[in-house]
Amino acid sequence: MPTIVFASPKGGAGKSTSAVILATEIAARGATVTLIDADPNRPISRWASLPGVPETLTVVADVTEEGIIDVIEDAARRSAFVIVDLEGTASMMVGYAVSTADLVIVPTQGSTLDAAEAVRAIRLVRNMEKATRGASIPSAILFTRTSAAIRPRSLTAIAAEFAEHGVPVIATQMHEREAFRAVFAYGGSLADLDRSQVSNVDAALRNARAFAAEVVGMLPAAAAADAAAPARKVA
């Protein structure tokens, strides 16, 4: 079933945060999700060591460069969704993961310097398409850590530039929210957060739901049907 890969050579772009939020949001609908922690720094595994990992979500770590394609293919046979979090670098591992993807999400913060790094990630995807001589690998930019209150003109200009170059931009942004960070501190999903400890959880939940719905809508049609029908689980 479809594989969504988070990739960007820029460290701290928001890959791991967005991957966990997407995975927990899809799992909350009852679909099976395998979240592959392909970053040697193991951010996802640390999150998974805390309580509250959804029942339908499996985390796989200990992934090697030689093994990553097999690990992804195996997960895709077992789960309705596979989500891969990668290290903030350009490596063979990243290339292999991208080659298996049904969608590559490139998170970027909304500055011109960050956008340049996102362009490198998109180029890597386009090169992988050529290298594998296979079908196209859809990719899209995800703006992260943006303000929920204001949309600076620089962000609009960057988004327009991506569009001009035929690079899709995910309309939903992962805004700067304490709740997204808190999931890594307390474990589990946004819905499990203690509202007396963490501010604006409901706004973060709405943000996460809109993000997940948009991403699932970008996948092949069969995947969207799976997420919409939580009772139907793929063994």
Ligand X SMILES: Nc1ncnc2c1ncn2[C@@H]1O[C@H](COP(=O)(O)OP(=O)(O)OP(=O)(O)O)[C@@H](O)[C@H]1O
Name the site residues for ligand X (rule: CB under 6 A).
11-17, 39, 43, 87-88, 144-145, 174, 176-177, 180-181
CA distance 110 to 101: 24
Smallest distance, Å, CB 188 to ligand X?
16
Residue with CB nearest ligand X?
Answer: 88
Contact map string, positions 37 to 56, toward Mg ion, x by CB under 5 A: ------x-------------
Which H or E run includes 74? Answer: helix 68-78
- Whether residue 96 contacts residue 48, with contact meaning beta carbons closer than 8 Å, is answered with no
Per partner kind, with CB cut-offs from 5 to 8 A, the member of ligand X, Mg ion, none near residue 233 is none
Smallest distance, Å, CB 40 to ligand X?
10
How far CA 150 is from CA of 146, 153, 156, in Å, comes to 8, 9, 11
Smallest distance, Å, CB 44 to Mg ion?
8
172 in contact with Mg ion (CB under 5 A): no
Q: Sheet holding 33-38: strands in order across?
A: 57-60, 33-38, 81-86, 3-6, 103-109, 139-146, 174-175
Smallest distance, Å, CB 17 to Mg ion?
8
207 in contact with Mg ion (CB under 5 A): no
* CA-based nearest residue to 38, from 76, 4, 65: 65
* Residue 159 token pair: 């988004």
Collapsed DSSP state (helix, strand, coil) of residue 156: helix
Q: Which is nearer to Mg ion, 11 or 152 (CB)?
A: 11
144 in contact with Mg ion (CB under 5 A): no
CA distance 116 to 82: 27
15 in contact with Mg ion (CB under 5 A): yes
- Which position among 3, 16, 24, 189 is part of the footprint of Mg ion (CB under 5 A)? 16
Smallest distance, Å, CB 19 to ligand X?
8
Q: Which stretches of the chain bind Mg ion, using CB under 5 A?
A: 15-16, 43
